[in-house]
Amino acid sequence: QVTLKESGPVLVKPTETLTLTCTVSGFSLNNARMGVTWIRQPPGKALEWLAHIFSNDEKSYTTSLKSRLTISKDTSKSQVVLTLASVDPVDTATYYCARILPLRDGYNQFDYWGQGTLVTVSS
Amino acid sequence: DIVMTQSPLSLPVTPGEPASISCRSSQSLLHSNGYNYLDWFLQKPGQSPQLLMYLGFIRASGVPDRFSGSGTGTNFTLKISRVEAEDVGVYYCMQALQTPTFGPGTKMDFK
């Protein structure tokens, strides 16, 4: 059974660095081409893709936040970590991680999602 | 980045009636392999998004056949033949051809 669970602080102060962890089970981060992605959703707003990482350590970031985002993985712990530097109240959102199932010709499917974790940025 | 738009943004429906959502992309999502890299997700109230359709028209595992996806290039449609109570929520289209981008969402609820 594939599961993903996000964890991290509920409240972060402006200018601080937010660190979120996605702990996965039911699949290995070593699986050929398997990956994990992070997506966020401000309250009442739409989904925004943030970053992804694959088993071969290939990484990609959304252009608008690239300078502030870092994604990494610890295969032994089955965890993917996302950091967002210099947070601002506009970064308040529910942050989701999802499994990437690579299918054909570069198509990546987001087939399993975590429950999400709400992070509030406020002083 | 590819920009995704959806219409309508709000869709009041009647149980048992059909429903349709349109999604458009700023660039063609048609891959050289003949598939459109367009997915549909449903976010039910208080839940995480769940995959409904992928590659434009393929239903994800467990998705009832009252859901269908169509379209190619830059114009796509999600149709529900007969809306049921469990279908309410926000529907998002997402392009997977380049770095992923989502549409603004279509909120479907009962009249």
How close, in Å, is residue A56 to chain B by CA atoms? 18
**Contact A105/B31, CB-based, under 8 Å?**
yes
Å between A110 CA and nearest CA of chain B:
7
**What are the residues facing B80 on neighbouring strands?**
B19, B67
* B4 neighbors B100 (Cβ within 8 angstroms): no
Structure tokens at B29: 């999502």
The pLDDT value given to residue B54: 97
**Chain-chain contact of B99 with A63 (C-beta, under 8 angstroms):** yes
CB-based contact A63 B1, cutoff 8 Å: yes
Residue A108 to chain B, least CA–CA distance (Å): 7
Whole-angstrom Cα distance, residue A119 to residue B11?
Answer: 29
The tens-digit pLDDT sequence of chain B (111 residues) is 999 999 999 999 999 999 999 999 999 999 999 999 999 999 999 999 999 999 999 999 999 999 999 999 999 999 999 999 999 999 999 999 999 999 999 999 998
Q: Would you say residue A104 has pLDDT above 90?
A: no
